[in-house]
Amino acid sequence: MTARSPKDLSSIKGTQDILPKIVWKWQKAEETAKKIFELYGYKEIRTPVFEATELFEKGTGETSDIVIKEMYTFTDKAGRSLTLRPEYTPSVVRSIVENRLYLRPELMRYYFIGPMFRYDKPQKGRYRQFHQADIEVFGEKDPEVDAEIVEMARTLLSKLGIQDIDILVNSVGCQKCRPSYHKKLKQAAKTHREHLCEDCQRKINTNPLRIFDCKKDECRSAAAEFPKITEFLCPECKNHFDRFCELLDFYRIPYQVEPKLVRGLDYYTKTTFEVISSKLGAQDAILGGGRYDDMMKDFGGPDICGIGFAMGMERLVSVMPDKKDSEKFLYIVHMGEKSKKVALELAKYFRDNGVECVLEYKERKLRKQMSRADKLNAAWSLVVGEEEIKKKKYQLKDMKTGNQIEVTKQEALKRMTS
């Protein structure tokens, strides 16, 4: 075997390490998301990272960019085609059908946070392994749910201190009203054929709605001339959309109707929405979602409607404020073997009582250890010397103010936790 250079072993393009310096933001985002989702009656569900390729071909849709270009597909040793999940909804739907969760009395409201994989061209805000927080609701067809999940997303973003967002909403109709719109759209796209990129020219016949997803200027300006889906909605879809918008007004949520918002996936029906941030650059969507009322039925399951959204964690974290809730930990200073032993006992005592505690085992002078505590940004230091051990009283220093007092371990705990 030839030796590999460190360069060969570097991370794969489009993936990234989430380093300790930033991980607090991820933890905060994940914890806050879980808390909020649970307040609205969602339960966590976890499904495998890889699934049968057909699941995504069928679920995500054969004409979607994800299926055509972006899947991480491989053949396993048994010759089966498997795919690393590019999105979560097909897995959840599969799990519901397979585990017959629809027969249970609980609400079918699920959430999930984890990695996704898409072989897209990496750029800022677009990765090949990225993470999503995802929610899905099944069996609730009322527009109240559509508005509630937008309201929930907005609450979550505001809890995380994210400002400067825009909420875009649309309806993509249903199987009744979409075909006549498709026809008109196809005609319009054909007349603009020469202004469209090669990819969009292909979409004219496969799925003209996808042309709206193209970010190229020439395709965007051509698409601006296309008919709008909102003018083709059947009465049921129109009523649903009107009620959805009324409810957003009721929640005092500002939004824009964006008829070109069709989203990149094939399965949407009726409501679609996206939350974008002007701070994100070209990849500006923090989250996106919509209704998929036919998906479960298409999977061979019961006819149960669904709606959900997926939020990109990398993008979310990148627009979160940098201010960290102050890190509060105790640094224990010890000198010599006996003192180290007492320091270990004290560290166990403080940790058992919920105080983050750091001590280092390298022999260092008192002054050196104090300056380490300072450098590490400890909130307090506690000196454990011979005298202190005898008295069972220790020097607790507030590193910010410099105030120092002599306290028992119980008194120290009280000060640090009050």
Which range touches ligand AMP (CB under 6 A), out of 99-107, 121-129, 194-202, 218-226? 121-129
CB count, 10 Å around CB of 221?
A: 11
Count residues contacting ligand AMP (CB under 6 A)? 17
Would you call 250 exposed, middle or buried from its count of C-beta atoms within 10 A (0-12, 13-18, 19+)?
exposed
Residue with tokens 């292909």: 202
Whole-number Å distance between alpha carbons of 340 and 84: 49
Whole-number Å distance between alpha carbons of 156 and 292: 23
Lay out the site mask for ligand AMP across 215-254 (x = CB under 6 A, - = otherwise): ----------------------------------------
| Residue placing its CB nearer to ligand AMP in the complex, 69 or 193 | 69
Selected from 270, 315, 334, 397, the binder of ligand AMP by CB under 6 A is 315
CB 397, min distance to ligand AMP, A: 44
Site for ligand AMP in 99-118 (CB under 6 A): 118
CB 172, min distance to ligand AMP, A: 13
| Residue placing its CB nearer to ligand AMP in the complex, 89 or 339 | 89
Whole-number Å distance between alpha carbons of 138 and 89: 11
Q: Is 312 in the site for ligand AMP (CB under 6 A)?
A: yes
Q: Is 170 in the site for ligand AMP (CB under 6 A)?
A: no
DSSP H helix total and E strand total for the chain: 15, 16
CB 230, min distance to ligand AMP, A: 20
DSSP 373-415: HHHTT-SEEEEE-HHHHHHT-EEEEETTT--EEEE-HHHHHHH
| Residue placing its CB nearer to ligand AMP in the complex, 123 or 191 | 123
CB 286, min distance to ligand AMP, A: 5
**229, 141 in Cβ contact below 8 A?**
no
Element (H, E) at 230: none
Lay out the site mask for ligand AMP across 263-292 (x = CB under 6 A, - = otherwise): -x--------------------xxxx----
Selected from 49, 97, 101, 120, the binder of ligand AMP by CB under 6 A is 120
Selected from 189, 307, 310, 373, the binder of ligand AMP by CB under 6 A is 310
CB 268, min distance to ligand AMP, A: 10
Residue with tokens 């698409």: 223
| Residue placing its CB nearer to ligand AMP in the complex, 120 or 294 | 120
CB 362, min distance to ligand AMP, A: 41
Whole-number Å distance between alpha carbons of 314 and 113: 12
DSSP state of 106: S
CB 322, min distance to ligand AMP, A: 20
C-alpha closest to that of 129 among 186, 95, 84, 168: 84
CB 245, min distance to ligand AMP, A: 21
**44, 136 in Cβ contact below 8 A?**
no
Q: Is 87 in the site for ligand AMP (CB under 6 A)?
A: yes
Q: Is 90 in the site for ligand AMP (CB under 6 A)?
A: no
CB 287, min distance to ligand AMP, A: 5
Whole-number Å distance between alpha carbons of 67 and 393: 66
Please provide residue 218's backbone torsions phi and psi, each rounded to the nearest 5 degrees. -65, -35
Structure tokens, 342 = 């007492």
Q: Is 133 in the site for ligand AMP (CB under 6 A)?
A: no
CB proximity list for 263: less than 8 A, separation 6 or greater: 172, 213, 272, 274, 288, 289, 290
CB 66, min distance to ligand AMP, A: 7
Q: Is 126 in the site for ligand AMP (CB under 6 A)?
A: yes
CB count, 10 Å around CB of 89?
A: 23
Q: Which residues sit at the interface with ligand AMP, rule CB under 6 A? A: 87, 118, 120, 125-127, 130, 132, 264, 285-288, 310, 312, 314-315
